[in-house]
Structure 1
């Protein structure tokens, strides 16, 4: 007879769970209940149950702390966590720490019985023939792969070890071309009550799992939750033909709508050759997705069409952005601000609805965002603000005067940035050199190569670089390579020879010598030291 301990700080909730379990299956024995983690640990020691059913949020010691300690003291104990929607981030931490399953509040009888049935069967099987413990749980590998891909996309670079991790999950991406889907839930498709009572992360997890199931049957790929509102899917393709991928995306959209009454909008980038270039289609898929504000949701938006404005042609267009667009591109701020006032004022006067005004301005701002991304000016233009946040703010403005002023300031600021960036003497060559080094440190690089990139004489560049950074070009290049080598040594099982090659060292002897000069130990010794401290 399997034994279970229930932990929750509310007595009425503990009694309810006891009654629910007893009325469903007499084989389960609730041997005790506790109001917090400290009481629970005493019961676990005295009663040695098979399962711990614990709430996440409790006074004194919460469910996460209880789970961590219980796993150390009672390795065979199975843990199931109970969480409210508002505590979903805690639930995710708990699952990563080894919780067997979770139940959302308010607890429904069907969900509780499903979880306990599954646990009872596992306990029965384990008792009959103990299975050897797997070296690493698939869930942990998947989370590690998701975190690695998300971090790589954010920093603008992906590496071979990210592919290797997917291979450990049985996901082989051996075709030469890669592309990306970004899937976003259309919030308006969810009933207000249903959405406000749920954590958005729950919807993303559902979409991610659904997308992965379709990928498993249709196309090599890996889906992961990229943010609280977006799911990304990395896909592998034999060539640049997009027909199969567009069909796949439409299938995802239709089936999610059919099975769950939810709608999603999907952005798709353009295929690139080589995994390391994956950040490009991801950025394009994100830009395509922004056009949802213009064309509406429940669609698959192909970046190729969105970029060419095939989706955005209005039947009647009584205004034009051409003169404004030209002034922005040419860096003429006064003219850009004047035209912004004129054309947006005309738009507000002639458009039939507020929605049409917002759609057209969002279209313009998305195009400006693409331009700023190409020129590397987005951070200077928008600061810490995300383009999505900006568009939402624009769509909340109902005053034409306020709208004109906000857009005039925004477009004027971008135009100034373009004007400054177009003057070679005013661009910062050291910042440009640093950015280039951080992306290309693993390639064969000489001082002259970098000087040519920033249009400076090599001797002058060398002196200027040392004055501004306090380091020589070689010292900085070595620093970047050794830091990356340290990261790989600590977090992967790659061979040292492979790490040397991937971080830009011509041979293993040179790598060993330089690494020891910088770190004080050999690469092998460094790896052993780091792992001994874990």
Structure 2
């Protein structure tokens, strides 16, 4: 039994997809529809969905931005992108964000059925079989030696770098790079309850390498063995990627970390600590980026409940603690010191209280205000406030809505717009889910049932 969310700013399109999927043989029992990304995010925060189908070009929030938000908060929800645009760059961006497939409008029913079935049932291990493990490792051992030298040796001359990159045969194009340090707990991996033997650990690591290559394929990822049981990955970005205003590169890097953790857990039942570096320009920056990634992964001892760590968060935390300028390598601007309480949580709650009425409020807006990644922001907010960040936003909106319904005669649509909802119908659904009453029922009850409703 599956539950699906369809997001499209053309109600006719989403209704057609909804009706078709409900009458298919895929055992789909419920299909919700949303007219924009903000409604979709609200649905995803309130319910569990097995699949999201979204248009790319929508007002207020594009499908690419929606995918970024989905994977920041629920990285295990698969997404299929539907768009009238046949340009490859749209497809490439959506695939880089982890989209399961890409369809062009008008969508043929047989093709829609095929990709939905594939997304709902795809559970096979990505990558190659573990057979031929030793042969595969031997064939790539020399390449891994060159890569390890590039990411660990700080004193290479420009001639050395050119010689090594030449040996790698154009594998490193860049010109921008990021490094990921993956530390897998192999002692508790696998789906059997038996103790993991040394041989099984080697097989699991080989499988993990294949999973990493598959996960990072859209980022021109290069994955190889690090020291001990660690795995190192290099991702590459072009100048076009870095300059695209639709792409928040740092947010996508953090999203990659969530995808890696999800895939290792899903396919190997393995817990992993993921350390993410910032971005550097040129091959010569790789040793420094590896140090950042390792430093980030090392934070797991301080935050045991967190699995993905971004070096930019660490640099910002150290800056706040010391009151000094953060390192250039963090590639983020220093924060402006607030006039009031300097604590991060105080700044977060203050920003939310001042902006929760904005229907376009996103977690990226809040994270940019306090200069933390969205993932780390969500983690520290829940740790310190004992509640989910978006539950906090919704609670503020509902309290203000209740106040307006009691103290004013504003109509439902006026209240909806005043507290941060673009659709009165969506506001009513959210209100009832949170409070168990419709806005009209609440107003009547709050006023003792002795006044006519102010809204039609």
Q: Which has the higher relative contact order, 1 or 2, with Cα contacts under 8 A spaced 6 or more apart?
A: 2
What is the TM-score of this pair, normalised by structure 2?
Answer: 0.35
Could you say which structure has the larger radius of gyration?
Answer: 1
Between Structure 1 and Structure 2, which shows a larger proportion of helix residues?
1
